[in-house]
Structure 1
Amino acid sequence: MCGRYAASRRPEELTGIFGIQRWDPKETLAPSWNIAPTDNVRVVLERPLKGEAAAAFPPGPVRQLRTLKWGLVPSWSKSPEAAAKMINARAETVHEKPSFRQAFATRRCLLPGDGYFEWVTDAAERELEEQGRRKRPRKQPYFVTPVDGSVMAMAGLYEFWRDRTLPGDHPLAWWATCTVVTTEAETTPLAGATGGEGPQSLAEIHPRMPLVLPPDRWDAWLDPARTDPDEVRELLAPPPAGLMRAHPVPTGVSNVRNDGPELVTELDGPEVGTLF
């Protein structure tokens, strides 16, 4: 799964990387190294503009950098309460699940990030738990990030939900939300893995990982005219192995109230661990 990630690039940089045609400075988010479910996040999407904003562009979809809430609320949902539970959508079933099916066909996006976090319980902690000597095993956070330092473009879906308890022109009447598509984690050795302590593959960290799309799939994934489910599913193939690395980071990231670049600092080895 993906339940916490970092995104520190400025909008100006993302504009160049993704070929953004429009972004609203009023929607700018501060860099964050500890993004959590229900936070506002940046996404790249393509859709037509409306009103005065559309006059500056040719007819048709416009590639935009938008701010959405992480945790998808289906358009047919009676309330937004389930948003925190819909931060991820499984690549294997996203095309058939009622909550994601329509968004998968027509409302796909990319979530730019620096990397994502997962927590690992080592063998010693698991043994203590099995022996009943540890009720809550301590876990070590790891940061998974592209080897070359490039942006991590996570496949995502977005949706609009209307709060019908409010007038249509109320600023909170419409919710724009998103989810991250996940896939099976790689079992191939991680870049830099030495066979010593620590996970040797992404699958040893967690069985699931965000579906990171390489640049040659961005255009097809974002294209809202590409609506055939079978055609879109072809884009869900995992990227080539060996593109990601993982390193232990300070346990401070386990507290969602903490933020800052120090949370992705690479440690020489695992810390004592943290309850999470």
Structure 2
Amino acid sequence: MNPAVPTWAGVAASLALVALTVAAVRRRRLHLSRDITVAALRAGVQLAAVGALLLLVFRHTGLAGATGWLAVMVLIAGRVAAHRAAGLPRALPIATAAVVAGTAATLGTLLVLGVIAAQARVVIPVGGMVVSGAMQATALVLIRLRDEARTARSAIEARLSLGLPAGEAFAPHLRDTLRTALIPAVDSTKTAGLIGLPGAMTGLILAGVDPLTAIRYQIVVMYMFLAAAALAALTAARFVEQALFDDAHRLRPLAAEPRLRRSGH
């Protein structure tokens, strides 16, 4: 047994951190206690189930199983990103297409160039990181563009009334949104290794891999994360722009934003 890996008893003991978090938010009356508890329990159950399924995929299905696994992750990521942008026209197909574009281009390039091995044990965890980065960037773009279309509607329509096409009337908001969506990926790339050790590198070091070897893998991970975020954000922005305007270059009305429910204690 690797002494760097917690036992199941250690995992159970780490629930004390969740209890501490719940106590802190209760004290501040943030109404997040139930959400934190459910999230922690769901994470434990989900990860245990995923671990069991991964054993089956690695041992019996190989690359075909890995491809199916990635497809499921992409569909879930698209739905999560779309859910955050409720009220935006065609949010689900746009979010899914953006995640697919960022994931396929990034992971496909790594496989074609031989940077990573075409094995289920490699493709699934690396692909999961790519999908996660693409999902985060997509969600930010969808949320920001939806909000811009609502709050800056009068300014956009004023430009349209002056004869500007939809693309030019919406361009300032599109540029600002893309810059905002890519800032997290850019900042995490710039500060890699300076503010804590990144996840992939930490995991490899804990597994006993030489730090210089772990660094090589982490550099690849940072580059693919940046590329996936950029490609997904650009794809999402392009499709959202098409969804927001009709063929006559008129800004479509947006559905009312659903009211957020208050979480219990």
Larger RCO (CA within 8 A; separation ≥ 6): 2
Q: Select the structure that is richer in helix.
A: 2
Structure richer in strand, relative to its length: 1
Q: With the length of structure 2 as denominator, give the TM-score of the two structures.
A: 0.26
TM-score, normalisation: structure 1 = 0.26
